């Protein structure tokens, strides 16, 4: 590609990204998600790709399955995973409009991950003819990744089982645009304490303080953090009590945990489920749920990485690998099924989930070409 063609490509990608970012689509707004899905659908239907929608009900948007399969082609292919929801509430654009400053293009959800999806989709559009890729390509866009992919998980896993590789459009790691080969697993711990209410002044001795019991459990949970082994347990919220002059009968904490592999997840589960109530009169309920299992860097991941590094070279840049990250994504689901998975292949930039979220415009064209080479040549 000569420099004029690269500039033209950059301009058109930039315009498409701005269109997508200016349609806000937070995970909890079904109407906005459906509008976002409709915008993507319109843009896909202007080309030769196929699009199928999987309805997930009225509480979210649909899954969009965009592919270049010839009719009847059931071969396992390349699964490209993305999401079109963002963490930013409606109205964020008013304070934080889509704008360019130097090489940085800012806007809510631009880096995580609307620009990443635009890159993959743009490449796939050029490969709409089934004979232009060695494997069929299935681009699957979900509406609920930022809230844990609860509605779309089973579909993601179904698609992954029919794939040879999974490539994920999550943002490239800030600083050098590194890709991701390993992610910690993540989940939640909920502990609920059931005390006994009493008048705090008249019958204090009859009360059993649920908040006090939960305070003990907070300390016990936080102690399970082990930085050396890569385990964190972080109590994020506590709710409890009614008013200051009542001994609280109920209290609940919710904690986030991250673990580097399945064995440590099991060990943590045992430790958490083994927690004992400190006050014998205040029973506790302990709930441990692993949402996303850890994404391990396997031998097959390393092979896929090496091939993709060659495609990046063709596109004009070095693809480096990030160290294991504590952030989970839908890549965790596909990797846990044993499918070689590479993540962090989306846009280069910084500031995911913040007001200074941005992408680097000068990297768009080469990163889009990188997608083109991966999708066309992987076999
Ligand atoms: Zn994301």
Residue 288 confidence (pLDDT): 98
What is the Cα–Cα distance from 236 to 254, expressed in whole angstroms?
6
Please choose, from the candidates 343, 350, 266, the residue with its C-alpha nearest in 3D space to the C-alpha of residue 308.
343
At 112-152, the pLDDT tens digits run: 999 999 999 999 999 999 999 999 999 999 999 999 999 99
Cα of 254 vs centre of ligand 1, distance in Å, is: 23
Cα of 240 vs centre of ligand 1, distance in Å, is: 32
What is the Cα–Cα distance from 153 to 290, expressed in whole angstroms?
13
Residue 46 confidence (pLDDT): 86
Q: How many CB atoms lie within 10 A of CB 223?
A: 10
> Bridge partners of 194?
250
Cα of 146 vs centre of ligand 1, distance in Å, is: 6
Cα of 273 vs centre of ligand 1, distance in Å, is: 31
CA 76 and chain centroid, separation: 23
Helix residue spans in the chain (DSSP H): 3-21, 30-45, 92-95, 115-126, 153-161, 210-222, 262-273, 299-315, 331-336, 364-377
Cα of 182 vs centre of ligand 1, distance in Å, is: 15
User: Strand 50-54's sheet: what is its strand order?
Assistant: 50-54, 63-67, 137-142, 77-83, 163-168, 341-342
Cα of 112 vs centre of ligand 1, distance in Å, is: 5
Cα of 292 vs centre of ligand 1, distance in Å, is: 14
Cα of 221 vs centre of ligand 1, distance in Å, is: 28
Residue 375 confidence (pLDDT): 98
Indicate the pTM of the whole model: 0.89
Cα of 284 vs centre of ligand 1, distance in Å, is: 35
What is the distance between the terminal CA atoms of the chain, rounded to a whole angstrom?
24
Q: How many CB atoms lie within 10 A of CB 224?
A: 17
Cα of 197 vs centre of ligand 1, distance in Å, is: 44
DSSP assignment string, 219-271: HHHHTT-BGGGTBEEEEEEEEE-S-TTEE-SEEEEEEEEEESSHHHHHHHHHH
What is the Cα–Cα distance from 379 to 375, expressed in whole angstroms?
9
Residue 1 confidence (pLDDT): 81
Cα of 252 vs centre of ligand 1, distance in Å, is: 29
Residue 354 confidence (pLDDT): 93
State which residues of the chain have pLDDT below 50: none
Cα of 87 vs centre of ligand 1, distance in Å, is: 9
Cα of 47 vs centre of ligand 1, distance in Å, is: 26
Please choose, from the candidates 13, 105, 83, the residue with its C-alpha nearest in 3D space to the C-alpha of residue 370.
13
Query: Which domains can be identified in the chain, with CATH numbers?
Result: 3-183+295-377 (3.40.630.10), 185-292 (3.30.70.360)
3-state secondary structure of 360: strand
What is the Cα–Cα distance from 178 to 107, expressed in whole angstroms?
21
Residue 116 confidence (pLDDT): 98
Cα of 159 vs centre of ligand 1, distance in Å, is: 19
Cα of 263 vs centre of ligand 1, distance in Å, is: 26
Determine whether 75 is exposed, middle or buried from the number of CB atoms within 10 Å of its CB (0-12, 13-18, 19+): exposed
At 155-192, the pLDDT tens digits run: 999 999 999 999 999 999 987 899 999 999 999 999 99
Cα of 328 vs centre of ligand 1, distance in Å, is: 9
Residue 174 confidence (pLDDT): 84
Residue 357 confidence (pLDDT): 97
């Amino acid at each position: 590609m000569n420099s004029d063609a690269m500039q033209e490509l950059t301009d058109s990608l930039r315009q498409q990204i701005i269109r997508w970012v200016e349609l806000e689509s937070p995970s909890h707004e079904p109407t906005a998600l459906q509008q976002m899905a409709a915008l993507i659908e319109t843009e896909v239907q202007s080309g030769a790709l196929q699009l199928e929608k999987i309805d997930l009900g009225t509480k979210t948007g649909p899954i969009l399955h965009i592919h270049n399969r010839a009719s009847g082609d059931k071969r396992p292919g390349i699964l490209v995973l993305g999401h079109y929801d963002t963490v930013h509430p409606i109205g964020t654009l008013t304070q934080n409009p889509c704008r360019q400053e130097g090489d940085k293009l800012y806007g809510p959800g631009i880096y995580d991950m609307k620009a990443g999806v635009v890159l993959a989709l743009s490449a796939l559009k050029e490969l709409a003819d089934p004979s232009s890729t060695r494997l069929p390509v299935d681009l699957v866009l979900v509406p609920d990744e930022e809230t844990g992919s609860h509605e779309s998980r089973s579909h993601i896993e179904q698609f992954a089982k029919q794939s040879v590789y999974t490539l994920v459009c999550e943002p490239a790691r800030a600083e050098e645009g590194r890709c991701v080969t390993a992610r910690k697993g993540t989940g939640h711990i909920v502990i609920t304490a059931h005390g006994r209410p009493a008048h705090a002044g008249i019958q204090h001795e009859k009360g059993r303080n649920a908040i006090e019991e939960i305070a003990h459990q907070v300390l016990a949970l936080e102690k399970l953090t082990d930085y050396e082994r890569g385990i964190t347990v972080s109590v994020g919220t506590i709710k409890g009590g009614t008013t200051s002059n009542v001994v609280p009968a109920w209290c609940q904490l919710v904690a986030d945990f991250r673990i580097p592999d399945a064995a440590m997840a099991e060990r943590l589960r045992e430790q958490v489920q083994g927690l004992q109530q400190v006050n014998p009169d205040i029973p506790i309920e302990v709930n441990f749920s692993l949402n996303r299992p850890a994404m391990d860097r396997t031998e097959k991941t390393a092979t896929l990485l090496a091939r993709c590094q060659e495609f990046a070279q063709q596109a004009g840049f070095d693809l480096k690998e990030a160290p294991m990250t504590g952030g989970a994504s839908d890549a965790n689901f596909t990797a846990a099924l044993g499918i070689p998975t590479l993540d962090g292949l989306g846009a280069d930039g910084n500031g995911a989930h913040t007001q200074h979220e941005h992408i680097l415009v000068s990297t768009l064209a080469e990163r889009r070409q990188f997608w083109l080479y991966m999708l066309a040549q992987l076999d």
